[in-house]
Amino acid sequence: MRLSLLGLALLAGLADLVAAPSPAVPEARREQRLHFTAQDREVGRYQYVPVTVPAGTTRLTIAYAYDKAGGANVVDLGLFEPGPLDLGTGPAGVDVTLTAETSAVADPAPVPTLAPRPTGPLRPGPAWFSGGVHLHTRHSDGEFSTEEVCRRAREAGHDFVVITDHNNTTHQLDPVDVPGLLRLVGEEVTTPGGHASVLGIGGWRDQVDFRLIAGDERIRDLVRAANERGALFAINHPRADCLGCSWEHNVSAGVAAMEISAFAPAERAAAMALWDSLLQRRRRIVGIGSSDWHRPDHPIGAASVRVWAAELSERAILDAIRAGRVVVMADGATPPPELLVRSGSAEARIGDSLPVARGATAIVEVTIPSGLGRGRVDLVQDGAIVDSAPIASAPIRFERTVVKDAYLRVHVHAVDGSPVAVTNPVYLEVPGARGSKR
């Protein structure tokens, strides 16, 4: 997460940066003194500052300085091709000194190339795969390289990761050699009205535009565009207590998933409440969890997901998340609980729908993998705990009489009450009961 009040954008002819170096390019340094006021921020969240990059340039160095005024001024810097800076302004406005230096070095670093995306599965066959779906590298405000983040994710037990740097996908240019780990390309679309991850994009300079203000109706177009290109749109930390982090846009059609994990219990409860309010309006938004990992101030796998997918491949993982075959877990390695709901001869697992005759009994069976220790299993129906049992080695059985559409999920808690697992729902559908409570 980061503060983001107003955006300053550098406009640079970056295409020139990858041209062949020319010894004829002189070094150039240009300093600009800019002043922005709160009114500027009202007119345009992003202020654009053109920077000239001569043909043959191989290096562009940008620096900026301003008075933070005890946190009243926040200026984020971005670079566009042609190219952005990002700003918040206190009542007195803010002065920004921006310097851009261009030069051509004799032996420039090679232009990075994009590795082809894998065509076949990394592992065949259905299984629960462990994944981190929201991780940052040095390509935004993370501490480590892409390779290092991937290596640590694998050590924590993940089978796949989605790297989601703020507003860029340049991490995909970094080669990663971590055996057994599937890397997906994502982006944390970071707007002043909340953050969302677009999972499963990629391609040379592929990126999703983030320049929306809070409550901007164009969020619809952004979500649609993500879906049209086969990517999955997930709202991040929807009730986070930091500036610009809470979701203030609509939850428009096409939003597939939402983070329900958070370190602060109040934020977690608020995210869960939002999730339940959507589920109760028949929006089958998939609950996911992430560590939003930037640095080792907390474990990389806390929180993370287990996804029941047909194989370990990008397509299968995204399809399985869309289908709701997801359990949110508090670490990267523990196997997830299994939830099986039966009524008559029909049965359903996490993410599935189950037809139930009105007045019939739904039998709920929860299997807790060994190693979870002691603790408690709560059965949650339509957002409320309706039954509870201590963790046991044998499957735990609950029964519900069903009179209308409902959704059932399971929360597993440790002895100290901390969350261990939250499953996505099984949806009970009573014929002729649509429009009833849920």
Closest separation in Å from C-beta 304 to Zn ion: 14
Examine residue 1 and tell whether it contacts Zn ion (CB under 5 A). Answer: yes
Count of residues in contact with Zn ion, rule CB under 5 A: 5
CB of 123 to Zn ion, least distance (A): 27
**Which residue's CB is nearer to Zn ion, number 171 or number 195?**
195
Closest distance between Zn ion and the C-beta of residue 292, in Å?
A: 4
In the complex with Zn ion, which residue's Cβ is closer, 234 or 309? 234
Output the smallest distance, CB 171 to Zn ion, in A: 13
Nearer to Zn ion, 41 or 134 (CB): 134
Closest distance of CB 240 from Zn ion, Å: 7
Of 195 and 249, CB closest to Zn ion: 195
DSSP β-ladder status, 74-80 and 7-12: parallel
Three state DSSP letters for the chain: CCCCCCEEEEEECHHHHHCCCCCCCCCEEEEEEEEECHHHHHHCCEEEEEECCCCCCCEEEEEEEECCHHHCCEEEEEEECCCCEEEECCCCCEEEEEEEEEECCCCCCCCCCCCCCCCCCCECCCEEEEEEEEECCCCCCCCCCHHHHHHHHHHCCCCEEEEEEECCCHHHHCCCCCCCCEEEEEEEEEECCEEEEEECCCCCCCCCCCCCCCCCCCHHHHHHHHHHCCCEEEECCCCCCCCCCCCCCCCCCCCCEEECCCCCHHHHHHHHHHHHHHHHCCCCCEEECCCCECCCCCCCCCCEEEEEECCECHHHHHHHHHCCCEEEECCCCCCCCEEEEEECCEEEECCCEEECCCCCEEEEEEECCCCCCCCEEEEEECCEEEEEEECCCCCEEEEEECCCCEEEEEEEECCCCCEEEEECCEEEECCCCCCCCC
In this complex, which beta carbon is closest to Zn ion, that of residue 171 or of residue 400? 171
Identity of the residue, 159 or 188, whose beta carbon is nearer to Zn ion in the bound complex = 188
Question: Are the CB atoms for 181 and 160 separated by under 8 Å?
Answer: yes
Nearer to Zn ion, 236 or 334 (CB): 236
CB of 242 vs Zn ion, minimal distance in Å: 8
Choice between 9 and 189, CB closer to Zn ion: 189
Least spacing, CB of residue 101 vs Zn ion, in Å: 30
Sites for Zn ion among residues 269-328 (CB under 5 A): 292
CB of 146 to Zn ion, least distance (A): 15
- 198, 189 Cβ separation under 8 angstroms: yes
> Whose Cβ is closer to Zn ion: residue 149's or residue 372's?
149
Q: How far apart are CA 378 and CA 381, in angstroms?
A: 10
The CA distance from 193 to 213, in Å, is 6
Q: Which is nearer to Zn ion, 187 or 314 (CB)?
A: 187
* Cβ distance to Zn ion smaller for residue 36 or 293: 293
- Tell me which residues in 40-69 interact with Zn ion (CB under 5 A): none
Residue nearest Zn ion, CB atom distance: 195
> C-alpha distances in angstroms, 93 versus 38, 66, 88, 242?
6, 11, 9, 22
CA distances (Å), 280 to each of 404, 405, 435, in order? 12, 10, 11
**Rounded to the nearest whole angstrom, what is the least distance from the CB of residue 174 to Zn ion in the complex?**
18
Residues 142-201 that bind Zn ion (CB under 5 A): 188, 195
x/- letters, 227..246, toward Zn ion (CB under 5 A): ---------x----------
* Smallest distance from Zn ion to CB 250, Å: 18
For residue 136, the minimal CB distance to Zn ion (Å) is 6
Contact yes or no for 397/365 (Cβ under 8 A)? yes
Binding site for Zn ion (CB under 5 A): 1, 188, 195, 236, 292
